[in-house]
Each structure stands twice: as structure tokens, then as C-alpha cells.
Amino acid sequence: MAGRFETLPGGGAAVALDEVEVSILRSLTVQLMELIGPGDEPAADADPLAALFAEGPSEPPSDPALRRLFPDAYGDDSEELRASAADFRRYTENDLRARKREDALVVVRALDALSGDAIGEGGVVLKLTPDESRAWLGSLNDLRLTIGTRLELTDEESEQLYRLPDSDPRKPMVMAYLWLGALQESLVETLMS
């Protein structure tokens, strides 16, 4: 099972992780949550109906990674499409941000449940329910999109990533990007089986 998700009886997935992998996953996921932001949570005494119709931003984020996580629904070829994209963003981005935060929180909680004492020399097996597996899949995708954007990766560069010299300052993040991709791929395969 080393580094690959496998199907659990009754659904869900399991993966063996060592202490370093747990630490890296947790750190990257917490950074993702910080990037996404805390969100505009309604006050406890807020009107639930008003919160349902709360509007979000109409402009795309200025940060390239956030633009990748929250892209425009339509191209910006015309004024009409830009207006439609702004309307779509206004009514969907808050919910999308909340879902991405919730998915990331599932990852952090699952990793936190693996107490330091439980992670021995051989690592520990993380077991996820079907719902947790889907949240992990979303977060792994978001992490890869964010890292890929930060590294300014293009499709043409994908083969070159495996031959990056150790002296390249991008190497640690490229290695994380490739590892997350392998985890994501194995989780997809597991959920489809």
C-alpha cells in the first residue's frame, strides 16, 4: 500500500503514510486553507434566509492561484460574457469557497487524528470513508492546481519535471506536485473500482 490508495471493504480508501508525508500534507493543506480565506460566515443570530441570498464577489481574484481555483465560468471575449461571468461568480463563489474549505478541513482533521504516537517507523495507515475520500480528492486537486500555478507549469513542461536538476530551487515543490499527483491518481482509481 506504500504511497497508493487502496479500496477498503464497504467503500472508502486507505493509504500508508509516514510521519514526513503526514507533515507535508498537513502543512500544504493548511496553507491552502489560508489562501482560500476564512469566508464570510454569517453571525449566529443572522437571518438564515438572508445568508442564503448573500452575494459574493463579482470580479475574479487578483492572485493567479485563486484565479485557477475560482475561474470565470465563461471566456472574456465579449462584454456580455464578462457580465454573465460576473453574475455567475457573484452567486456561486461563496459556496465554492466554503466547499473547498470544508474539503481541506476534512484532510487536516484526518491527519490530526493520526496522533504522533501512532506513527511508527513503518508509518501509519490512514482510512477514509467514501465521503472523506471525495473530500480528499477535491483537496488534492486544489493543492496540485495551486502548486502548479505557483510554479507556472505548462503542459509542455510535464515531462521535464522528472529531470529537474537538484540545484533548481523549484525542485522541492515540483516533487510535492508530482507526489500529490500520484496520490490523486491512485485515489481516483480506488474510487472508480
Q: Determine the Cα–Cα distance for residues 24 and 78; give it in Å rounded to an integer.
A: 42
Q: Are 157 and 113 in contact (CB under 8 A)?
A: no
Which grid coordinates belong to 80? Answer: 456580455
Query: Who wins on pLDDT, 20 or 156?
Result: 20
pLDDT digits (tens, 9 = 90+) for 128-140: 999 999 999 999 9
Which grid coordinates belong to 107? Answer: 484532510
Cβ burial of 149 (10 Å; 0-12, 13-18, 19+) is middle
**Of 117, 120, 125, 179, nearest to 16 (Cα)?**
125
Averaged pLDDT for residues 153-166: 78
DSSP code for 77: S
Query: Who wins on pLDDT, 55 or 66?
Result: 66
Q: Residue 88: its pLDDT value, please? A: 86
**Of 82, 99, 92, 86, nearest to 135 (Cα)?**
99
DSSP codes joined into one string, 59-72? S--SSHHHHHHS--
pLDDT digits (tens, 9 = 90+) for 76-133: 667 878 888 888 888 888 899 999 999 999 999 999 998 765 666 778 899 999 999 9
Q: Determine the Cα–Cα distance for residues 108 and 56; give it in Å rounded to an integer.
A: 26
**Of 7, 21, 25, nearest to 189 (Cα)?**
7
Q: In this structure, which amino acid lies at residue 24? A: I
Which grid coordinates belong to 21? Answer: 508525508
Q: Is 125 helix (H, G, I), strand (E, B) or coil?
A: strand
Q: Residue 65: its pLDDT value, please? A: 95
Residue with cell 510554479: 151
